[in-house]
Chain A
Amino acid sequence: MTALRYGISDTLVLAKRSLLRIPRQPDLLVGFTVQPILFVLLFVYVFGGAIQTPGFDYVDFLMPGIIVQSICFGGFVTALGLADDLKKGLMDRFRSLPMTRSALLTGRTLGDVVTNVFQLVVMFAVGLLVGFNFSSSVGEVIAGIALLLLIGYAFSWVFAFIGLTASSPEAANAYGFTILFPLTFVSSAFVPVDSMPDWLQPIAEHNPFTTMVDAARALFLGTPAGNDVWLALLWTLAIIVVFAPLSAWRYQRVVAR
């Protein structure tokens, strides 16, 4: 019981530490506030007029997509933080303390959940200001928010793995933005998949981001869901099941030097 209590308190202490970094580092603060707002404005007012989304206003089509994209990157602080801790020797300090060692990972990913909640508030606020409308039941909206938070949590573990694999915080940044970022664009997040060239469509359709975005649209806009919500949930759980143990394994490897 004591072990569990300490495990929880250690996780909370380190989650707080992870969160304190965001308001104190200007580039992160901009990344979580100004940048997503700018993205919404750019897509709605600059690109939106040129993108055909039959059956939707573009702003309604866009918001679920852009929210999924930004929430996936909420966990970026975890990659940056872990890479930093390894580089600067903080990992050694923590591991020499009588704390729960796994809290170094669970603390980070729990901190990201709070970041994700903040991101959702910002995104929904901007969305409503530029004319986004929920057209589904309250229950569906709540389910949608729960799904988004779970997606954010899953990607925190992807970023934990990236942070523990990258040789430096800069490399973690590069992995995150050169691999993951383009993937989010080859999906139904910003344009309808059937507007893409024939060879690209199957890739976009099987991209888990497409499934997640379609699920969010179904839950927020009341579009026919098909299996999208269940598939998105399955994808999300699969990412956690794969990347949480993978991160734990990487963690063991990198600290045993």
Chain B
Amino acid sequence: MLASVERVPADPAVETNRLHKRYGDVHALRGVDLRVETGSVFGLLGPNGAGKTTAVRILTTLLKPDEGSARVTGFDVVRDDAKVREQIGLAGQYAAVDENLTGFENLEMVGKLYHLGRGLSRERARDLLSSFDLAEAADRLVRTYSGGMRRRLDLAAALVARPPVLFLDEPTTGLDIRSRIGLWDAIEALVSEGTTVLLTTQYLDEADRLADRIAVIDQGRVIAEGTPEQLKGQVGGERLEIHLCDDRRGEEAVAALASIASDRPFLEDGSVRVPVAQRRGTIADAVRRLDDAGIAIDDISVSTPTLDDVFLKLTGHAAEQETEEAEAQSR
């Protein structure tokens, strides 16, 4: 019988319990609980100033929490901070590499500081430079590198010791789209090798693409958590968007479509929005019903909710908007 084989749940790679941190009057974190399963990618999503970086700084032992506790691979980040540092790699939003060293020297230095010894440090440095497409630039000073190259080197530096848990604090902020996709590929390759990744981002598409689970954080609190699909499900599933030839017949259309909708259809920005349970056949259905009612259609499409919709619904404001405000304030 299979029942005799008891599955022991593996310890989570990262676990926090009621984390609090304040700087003077500013509450950066107000009781954050996170649980990141070993081998998964966890996305911490939120606008600037939401507390993402503070959480990462606590988990990487750079900062002590005011209240609450956190464990990384079972080690307490305050009591066993030295042990935690042996288990982690950190790549930050500023490419933290030494501009006056070459790419190779940077990685070799980091390897030595992980106490890998000279031989292994050099071997890892060479391997990482070639897998991050930096082999040709290996002996050039980093100050001659482009932004994307620095970011790749920064990520490589976090991997020198092959740590089981990787923290990526806004790994692609400020990069052009080509560099972002390159970095995403690199991160996905790592995950396939079993590394646990906690990444913070303000880009919803980034979390959607990379993360198995996402926690949305706003003003120091986790306001939602789940898989990308679950979060999108919170805003409702797919939706038909129908533009009518004659705007004035909107209410009639809503009435005609009510029976195929999973939730009440409504009017928005001059078009009819119809939440639907499944996309198959719904366009044909909708066209038929409107045709029967004698309402002419200008355009019809199916839209899938994005994490932007999730964010808007959860926080009452768009992610981008708050970012701009935060930046304006910090100036």
Residue positions of A touching B, CB distance < 8 A = 6, 9-10, 13-14, 17, 20-21, 24-25, 88-90, 92-99, 255-257
Contacts and interface: CB of A to CB of B under 8 A. Distances in A.
B114 A93 contact: no
B112 A93 contact: no
A185 B63 CA distance: 43
Interface residues of B, number: 32
A94 B112 CA distance: 12
Interface string B91-116: 01111111111000100011011110
A93 B86 contact: no
B96 A88 contact: yes
A94 B98 CA distance: 11
B208 to A, nearest CB: 27
A10, A21, A89 — most chain B CB neighbours (10 Å)? A89
Contacts of A93: 90, 92, 96-97, 110, 157
Nearest to A94: B113
5 contacts: A90-B96, A96-B90, A97-B110, A98-B82, A98-B85
Contacts of B64: 256
Interface of B: 23, 57, 60-64, 82, 85-86, 88-90, 92-101, 105, 109-110, 112-115, 141, 157
B98 A17 contact: yes
B159 to A, nearest CB: 13
B115 A25 contact: no
A257 B54 CA distance: 9
B96 A13 contact: no
B105 A20 contact: yes
A92 B96 contact: yes
A7 B97 CA distance: 22
A14, A20, A24, A98 — most chain B CB neighbours (10 Å)? A98
Contacts of B62: 92, 95-96, 255
A98 B114 contact: yes
Contacts of B101: 17, 20
B113 A99 contact: yes
A24 B100 contact: yes
A9 B111 CA distance: 12
Given A93-B90, A255-B62, A17 B109 contact: yes
Contact of A13 (B86, B93, B100, B113): B113
Given A17-B105, A89-B94, 18 more contacts: A6-B115, A10-B113, A13-B109, A17-B98, A88-B96, A88-B99, A89-B92, A89-B96, A90-B97, A92-B57, A92-B90, A93-B96, A93-B110, A96-B60, A96-B62, A96-B85, A99-B113, A256-B64
A213 B244 CA distance: 91
* Nearest 9 Cβ contacts at the A-B interface: A89-B94, A93-B96, A99-B113, A96-B90, A98-B85, A89-B96, A98-B86, A21-B100, A96-B60
B94 A88 contact: yes
A219 B141 CA distance: 43
Contacts of A94: 113
A63 B114 CA distance: 45
Contacts of B109: 13, 17
Contacts of A13: 109, 112-113
Nearest to B83: A98
A194 to B, nearest CB: 46
Contact of B61 (A25, A89, A96, A257): A96
A94 B85 CA distance: 10
B23, B90, B96 — most chain A CB neighbours (10 Å)? B96
A92 B133 CA distance: 25
Nearest to A28: B100
A6 B114 CA distance: 10
Contacts of A21: 100
Contact of B112 (A9, A88, A92): A9
Contacts of A256: 63-64
B61, B63, B112, B141 — most chain A CB neighbours (10 Å)? B112
